[in-house]
Chains A and B, each alone.
Chain A
Amino acid sequence: MKHTLIHLNTSPYSSLACKEGLDLALVLATFEQPVDLCLSGAALALLSDTQQPTAEHGKNLHKLLAGLEFYDIENVYIEKNHSWLDSTTSWQGVTPLDSTEWQTMFSQYQQVFRF
């Protein structure tokens, strides 16, 4: 069984990439495949609590985060030092990694898919 990392790097609302990356993570977990997530770049906006997307923006993907634990997706990594990610208004289920840990992380998976 291969351990998979899904790396989300695109805005949740500028395309379907973020949603379809999350969909793949949930399907992998449903098939009992070990899968972790990591977020960088514009995908970090997914963590903000203060999202009120309209139908035109697309689904509120932030709401999916709370359900990840029910799929046994326990690790969601971000890189430390994103000062704009105010801890009082962002999802607290992430594990921040320092720069070295972040870089090392990618080599610890058999498969990494980017969305």
Chain B
Amino acid sequence: MQYTLLITGSPYHSKACHTALRFIRAALNKSPDSIKGVFFYEDAVLIGSQVAQPPRDEINLTQAWQEIAEQHNIPLYLCIAAAVRRGIINEGESRRYELEQHTLAEYFQLEGLGTLVDLMNTTNKIIQFR
């Protein structure tokens, strides 16, 4: 069984990103190939900000997801439209909008909803965390 995770809940207004993180750790612990990819949509894209700085005595959720991506080679996709409107911008979008900075954290990538459709069709099950 291979899963794709669709995460839509804000990292600040919900526990969606936290719960999904616990799920993905458990799934990978049981089967290293169990996760096809993770797609962040709606306010969940805020997880991909490289400039957000949580207090030092709290979990750094972005860093926790980056470690998952690095250790298990799992792609972390942010919906490009949802991300750009919320200020999560990669180098390419930064040039396109003639901005001086970009804010996308390492290991995250901006993709269209077509990528989510592709994940839906190539994965056994997709689970939404909201």
Interface residues on A, range: 10 to 19
From B113, B116, B126, B128, A114 is in contact (CB under 8 Å) with B128
Residue of A nearest to B10 (CB): A15
Given contacts A1-B121, A20-B41, A33-B120, contact A111 B114 (CB under 8 A): no
Interface residues on B, range: 10 to 19
Q: Is the interface of B mostly helix, strand, loop or mixed?
A: helix
Interface string of A1-19 (1 = CB under 8 A from B): 1101000000000001100
Does A64 make an interface contact (CB < 8 A)?
no
Q: Is the interface of A mostly helix, strand, loop or mixed?
A: mixed
Task: State how many angstroms separate the Cβ of B24 from the closest Cβ of chain A.
Answer: 19
Interface string of B15-33 (1 = CB under 8 A from A): 0000000000000000000
Alpha-carbon gap, A27 to B42, bound state (A): 15
Which B residues lie within 8 Å of A23 (CB)?
Answer: 81, 113
Interface residues of A (CB under 8 A from B): 1-2, 4, 16-17, 20, 23-24, 27-28, 31, 33, 111, 113-115
